Every structure is written in structure tokens, then in C-alpha cells.
Structure 1
Amino acid sequence: MDNIKRYHVAHQIPHPPITALPTFSPAFTVYLFPGASTAVRSPSAAGSSMIGGRGGVVGGWRWGLWAVDLVGLLVVAVMVEETVELKLSHHLHGVVERVNERNGPFVGLLMTYPTEEIALQVSGFFVPSSDFPLVQLAGRRFNIGKIKGVDVIYVMSGEQTLNAGITVQLLIDTFDVVGIVHYGIAGSTNDSLLIGDVSVPKYVAQTSSWKWKKFKSKKGALPELKFGDYNLPIKGENLLAEIEFTQVQLYSTGRPMQELFWLETDPKWFNLATQLQEVDLQQCLNETYCLSEKPKVAYGLRGSSADIFVDNAAYNEFLFKTLNISTVDEESAAVVMASMSNGVPSVVFRGISDTAGDGGTLSSSIFSLAATNAVRVAVEFIGLLGREGKVHDQ
């Protein structure tokens, strides 16, 4: 085999797993023997007629000519066995290997900014591991321990979609993670969701993926925001025209690419979370100020994410009336999409910290209360996973 040239040709089709081969994605692996030509299936060539000569398309196969005679060809279709370790040359490889062997499998717990992490720390529910309390990787601290007897790795990703998606992928690729629990704060676009409430969305959307259209374009297939509708004092034409929301491309294990607008949290985990309606949520900021109503857990609403802090009442109203969106944040859709891509369950808990465009002053105390309530529901969910035996059954 020393003289075999090996060519790796990416091709997204499902294949049965061959666990002995440590590859990272579905692919054709082409082994070229000495004196061989290659034949690689080309989707664009499918159905083409035969073309004569030593190169070209034959029966839908595109032939690449090499300056050697054909001796033999072996094409092996392989499916990746998912890895949960860093590459051997990485200086943390041995540490991560021991963490996974001694403590896993884990529930991955992700929050995005310091107020949300502090809410977990002061709750006392997270108990750090005495062997390996943390691993620092890619500028992030992966904290290893237990919550309600369940092995957990929690990490603060940083804000916005790129940070969230990258961190979920790091969790899944590096550690033996069975699923992702995501909590944080969010703005409300729904008058029935009040400050302190916790929303558990069934669907989330990435609402900063747009097609900015020409002036006087034809109406598209997906929802649109027409700027002229918001002219003052009356509606009219606007040279900014309109934006049409677009779908995201979801690449996932064992499936062809899908274009989706709504990303669904894991149905089993979502249904399990509906058992948490009686979680006691914090109502008072301090001894002298309390919210007017006892906060509640709301299920099955729709959430949205964008790299935009929404503090505009008109846009808020548009999202709710046009897309039936009840919460806005900057990360949930990225967390759910990264989890779906890897075939890993996820669930989202978002505490309401503000109502966009209400004219009020954003308070750090309100943010803290919203984060605390989101943590309480997330922690109870993790405990429920443990009691139901869901961690080791994934």
C-alpha cells in the first residue's frame, strides 16, 4: 500500500458506518494504484451520453485522465464515526481523554454572557469536579462537574450567533456530550410574556438572514418587511424597498442539505421540559421591589435570533404579527442549528428581561432576575434528565 496515492473527494450522500476508519465526514475515498486513472461520479454529468476518448463522461461518470495506464481502481464509501477527542498532537488531548473516560457522558450547558454564568454560580447547584474542574480551550472555560447528580460541562460562549455555534461544535467534538441545554435572557415581543417569565420555545428562527430587494420588486415566497409601511406620517413608497427573510441551509449527519426557516428543538427533550410548569421562579428583586405578577414558564412559543439588539417597538410588533415570534435573542437559533447538524438533542430556556421598545431603562437587576429564573428551569430540567435516565440512554 506504500505506493498507493490516496485522494479524498467530498460527497454528501449517506453511507453505512465503517467504524474502523477515523474519517470526519461522509466521503468517497479513492485509492489510486500505480499506473491508474481515476473515475469520480459527477452529479452534473448524470444522464449524459457516452463521450469517446481517454477522458470525458461515460454513463454519467466523469473520467480524469492521468499520465499512466489503468491498472486498478478501488472506491470505498465511508461514513464518519463521530469522534469525541482532540487530535493526538493537541496538548490537551490526554486531559480531554481522561475527562471523557472518568466523568462522561455529559450534558452540555451553554450560556452566553457573564450575568447568565453568575446566576448559575451563585445558585449553588453546580458542583465542580475534584479531578478535572475545568479545561481551557479556544479561549473558553469548559467547567466540569455535576448538577443534581448529573455530569455536566458548562461553558460561556460569548454573545451572538458565531460564538454560540462555534462553542456548541467545540462541546460536541471535544467531549462526550449527549445533548445541549441552553439558557439565557431574551426580549419579549409578546404582551403575554412578562419580565421574569421563562419561555421554552419549540421552534426558533434565524431572522437576520435576508434578501434585500430592489425597489418595486415582486413579492417573494417568504415573509417580507416593507420599509414604506413605516413611513411617517403615512405609509408610502421607500427607496429602501423591502427585505425578504431567507431560509438557512442545514447540513446534518446522514441527510441531504435542507433549507429551513424554523429550527425545531428536540421533540423528546421539549416534551420532557413541559413537566416543569411548577418550578418556583423568583418574583422579587430585593426586599422592597417585586414584580406585579408571579413569573411563569411558557411552552411552545416561537423564538428568534439575530446579531441585532432589538429595541424598536415597530419591529417588535412586526415580528410578532407577521412571524408569530414571542422572544428575541442573539444565540438560540445558532445553538439549535449546531445541535441539529450533529444529531444531538437541544432545548432552550430564555428568561424575559425586557420588552423591546417599551421606553424603559434596562436594569442589570432585571437582567439578573431573568437569568436566575432561566437557570432554575434549566437546572430542574437537567435533574429530570437524570431521574428519567435520559443521560446514559441517548
Structure 2
Amino acid sequence: MRLLGFLVLLVLCISGKIRGEVSTQNWKEIEKINKKGPYIGIVVPNAFEMNPLLESSSFHADSKSPFFDFAGKRFRIGKLEKKRVIIVMSGLSMLNAGFATQLLVTLFKVKGVVHHGIAGNANPQLQIGDVTVPQFWAHTGLWNWQRFGHGAEDKLALEVNGDYTRKFGHLNFSNFNNHKKLVLNLLNSVWYQPEEVFPINSIPEVRQHAFWVPVDNKYFQVAKKLKNVKLEGCVNKTACLPRNPKVVRVKRGISSNVFVDNKAYRQFLSSKFNATAIDMESAAVALTCLQYQTPFIAIRALSDLAGDDSSSLSNEASLYASLASQNAVTVLIKFISLLPS
């Protein structure tokens, strides 16, 4: 009977893990971690962006609980510049970034979230290696696609119900036709849409909308002090940038599940949205923090001038990604050091 009872308990535990439930043991471990909090949460997309942080002399893993594994994520516990931090690698894309951030702010006692990594650049006034700190983020992958043959006077699908809007952006694909070849463009137009959000302090299932999500104002003011941070300008002795990279606070960054490697679309994003950093995760972190009312900021180093072919440095992400990643980490560490204890 004891053996049978043990087997039943084992099956229940296994089935609980399969369903993604938080076991009693996990809750005990989470509570133990939270007793040392609150923490600054750090969300980073990929290993090559995270490793320079973990290898930094400024980071010290917790001696008793260096990490906690849950739902496919590893939450690394420690101190950075003597501030308690929890670091989680989200993985590529908006879905992974949002999921990792939600776990972070739900399970742990987190007082703010800092996101860092590399990004494409839509601003030709900046160069590879520069580190940007945008004030606003938007998800530009949520579209309402207009039916072929319809024009400005025609309503979008479900627009009359209040589900969609023409307030944010408009991309007319025919503007990018090769008119010399008289190409008939069947793609017509798309209108960019705000996200539906459900803040934790609002009435459940009563939706609100958000397009431009601001970073935390106090964090953004702290970022003023980053402009003199020394950054790397060379990958090796033969691969150096034309000038030393710099830290710049900019107006806007945008995210979607798209790796932008197209000059025309990059220029459109710059002119339509006044965007600088283009990535695949930051807006998801921003939107999650907005709903949880958690202070947030993103630090993104530029790894390429997305899709431009006018310069030898136009699209060198494969060459300069490591340099950009290191610069992002350098700025992150300085930012954390400037936060009050």
C-alpha cells in the first residue's frame, strides 16, 4: 500500500508539472527568493546578449539560490552593482518576451524591469554600436489589412464596431511599386492597430487600448546620466567603427515579429513613426509592464542600419552583434549602478 501511495503521489506530481501548475515545493522556493527582495528584473532575449552580463565582474550569483527553473525559463538570482536582480532570458519574439516578463512580475517581488539587447536602426544619423534608450515603445505588428479595391472612403473590417482604428500609421503598398513597370499591387493598404490591454487594477474583461507605451519617467531621467559612458568601437584590430559609439535617449522604438532588412520599409518606419530602435521584443515587455503597472525601461544597442546599402556599415549585424551586445550590457550595468538602493 505504501508503494502504491508513493506511485500515486508521483503520478500526481508529474501530471501537475505537465499542466504547468506551480507545485508546493516551487512555491516554497519562490517565497524563499522573495524574502530577499524586492528585485530589479532584467529581461534579455538571447544567450549572446545575456552572456556578457553573466560574465561581468559586476554580477554575483546568489550563493544559496543562484537560479530557479520554471516553465522552460531559468531565473538567475544575484546582485548587479550591489542591487538585487533576477535575470531571465526570454527567447526571440514578442510572444516569448511577453511570457517571460509576465512570469517574472507574477512569481517574484519585482520593483522594476530593465530590458536590454541589440536592435536594428531606423535612424541614419546614428551608427552601429550606438546605444539607444527610447522614451516610447509600440508594437507595429498588429494590422488591419484593407480589402483590395477599397480606398480612404471605405471602412476597415469591423471598424464600425469600434474594434479597429485608423489613428496610428498607414502603409500603402502601392507607394512602393516600380511604376516604370506598371506593376498592379494587389496588397492595397494596412493600418496599424493599438493593443488591447487589461491593467491589473481595472475591471476584468473591460478592455483598454495602448499604442505608444512610455517607459518609466524616473528611469528615463536616470538615463540622462548615461551619455558619457565609454563604449567599445572595435570588434578586433581590423574592424572598427568610424567614430566612438555613444548613448542616446531617443523618442521612439518599435517592435514586431519581423527582422527588418529592407531599406524602403526602414525609411517608412522612420518617417511615419519617428522610430530609431527596431526589435522583436521590447514592446512586449513594455505592454506587460504596463498591465502590471511595473516601472520599465529598455536599453537597445544598434547592430545594423536595417536594410540600407549606402554604406559599408549598412547591414553588418553578423559582424557587429557581439560589439553591440557588449555595449548594451555596459550601459545596463551603469544604469543599474545609478538606481537608488
Q: Indicate whether the TM-score tops 0.5.
A: yes
Matches within 5 A, 1:100-139: 100-101=34-35, 103-139=36-72
**Conserved? CA contact 1:119–1:372, under 8 Å:** yes
Amino acid at match of 1:182: H
Q: Hey, what does 1:356 align to over in structure 2?
A: 306
- Once the two structures are TM-superposed, the CA of residue 274 in structure 1 deviates from its matched residue by 1.4
CA shift for structure 1 position 301: 2.4
Deviations, residues 255-289 of structure 1 (Å, cap 9, x unaligned)? 46321221111111111111111111111112333
Match of 1:162 in 2: 95
Is 1:376 the counterpart of 2:323? The answer is: no
**CA positional deviation for 1:362:** 3.8
Structural RMSD (CA): 1.8
Q: Which moved more, 1:331-340 or 1:112-121?
A: 112-121
Confirm whether residue 317 of structure 1 aligns to residue 267 of structure 2.
yes
User: Given that residues 146 and 190 in structure 2 are in contact (C-alpha distance below 8 angstroms), is that contact kept between their aligned partners in structure 1?
Assistant: yes
Please, which runs of 5 or more residues in structure 1 have no aligned partner? 1-85, 390-394
Q: CA deviation at 1:107?
A: 0.4
Residue 363 of structure 1, CA deviation: 4.6
User: Do the aligned partners of residues 190 and 356 (structure 1) sit closer, same or farther apart at CA in structure 2, a change above 3 Å counting?
Assistant: same
Contact 2:306 2:315 in 1 (8 A): no
Contact 2:44 / 2:116 at 8 angstroms: preserved in 1? yes
- The answer to whether the Cα contact below 8 Å between 1:119 and 1:368 also exists between their aligned partners in 2 is no
Amino acid at match of 2:169: P
Alignment partner of 2:303: what SS? strand
Deviation at 1:143, TM superposition (A): 0.6
1:301 partner letter: K
User: If the length of structure 2 is used for normalisation, what is the TM-score?
Assistant: 0.84
| More relative contact order, 1 or 2 (CA 8 Å, 6+ apart) | 2
One of 191, 194, 197 as aligned partner of 1:250: 197
Mapped partners of 1:87, 1:158: distance in 2 = 22
- Separation of aligned partners in 1, 2:99 and 2:324: 25
Residue correspondence of structure 1 range 317-336 to structure 2 within 5 A: 317-336=267-286
Aligned mates of 1:318, 1:380 — CA distance in 2:
33
CA contact (8 A) 1:199 1:301 kept: no
Q: Which residue of 2 aligns with 1:72?
A: none
- How big is each residue's C-alpha offset from its partner over 1:63-117, in whole Å with a ceiling of 9 and x where there is no partner? xxxxxxxxxxxxxxxxxxxxxxx9874431111111111x211100110011101
User: In structure 2, what is the Cα distance between the partners aligned to 1:363 and 1:248?
Assistant: 30
Cα offset, 1:237, TM superposition: 5.3
Q: For 1:307 and 1:251, how far apart are their aligned partners in 2? A: 22
Kept in 2, the 8 Å contact 1:229–1:236? The answer is: no
What residue is the counterpart of 2:28 in the other structure? Answer: 94
Residue in 1 that maps onto 2:241 = 291
| Counterpart Cα distance in 2 of 1:365 and 1:210 | 33
Matched residues, percent identical?
38
Which residue does the alignment assign to 1:259?
A: 209
Question: Which whole-Å CA distance do the structure 2 matches of 1:218 and 1:106 have between them?
Answer: 51
- Do residues 282 (structure 1) and 232 (structure 2) align? yes
Look up the match of 2:297. Answer: 347
Aligned in 2, Cα 1:198/1:226: closer, same or farther, shift over 3 Å? same
| 1:141 correspondence with 2:74 | yes
Find the aligned partners of 1:268 and 1:382 in 2 and give their Cα distance: 13
Q: Which amino acid aligns with 2:33?
A: V
Question: For structure 2, which runs of at least 5 residues remain unmatched after alignment?
Answer: 1-19, 153-165
More helix by proportion, 1 or 2? 2
SS of 1:293's partner is coil
Match in the other structure for 1:241? 188
Give the number of equivalent residue pairs: 301
Write out aligned runs for 1:173-212 (5 A). Answer: 173-212=106-145
Find the aligned partners of 2:315 and 2:127 in 1 and give their Cα distance: 16
| Separation (CA, whole Å) in 2 of partners of 1:257 and 1:201 | 26
CA distance, structure 1, for counterparts of residue 209 and residue 100 of structure 2 = 23
SS at match of 1:301: strand
Task: Please list the CA deviations of residues 102-159 of structure 1 after superposition, one character each: whole Å capped at 9, or x if unmatched.
Answer: x211100110011101221232221101010000111111110101100011011101
Letter of the 2:195 partner, please give it.
V
2:195 and 2:127 map into 1 onto residues whose CA distance is: 30
Q: What is the aligned partner in structure 2 of residue 232 from structure 1?
A: 178
Q: Deviations over 1:180-232 (max 9, x none)?
A: 00000000011112100001000011001000001232434432111111111
Range moving further from structure 2, 302-311 or 256-265: 256-265
Q: TM-score, normalised by structure 1?
A: 0.73
CA distance in 2, matches of 1:221, 1:183: 29
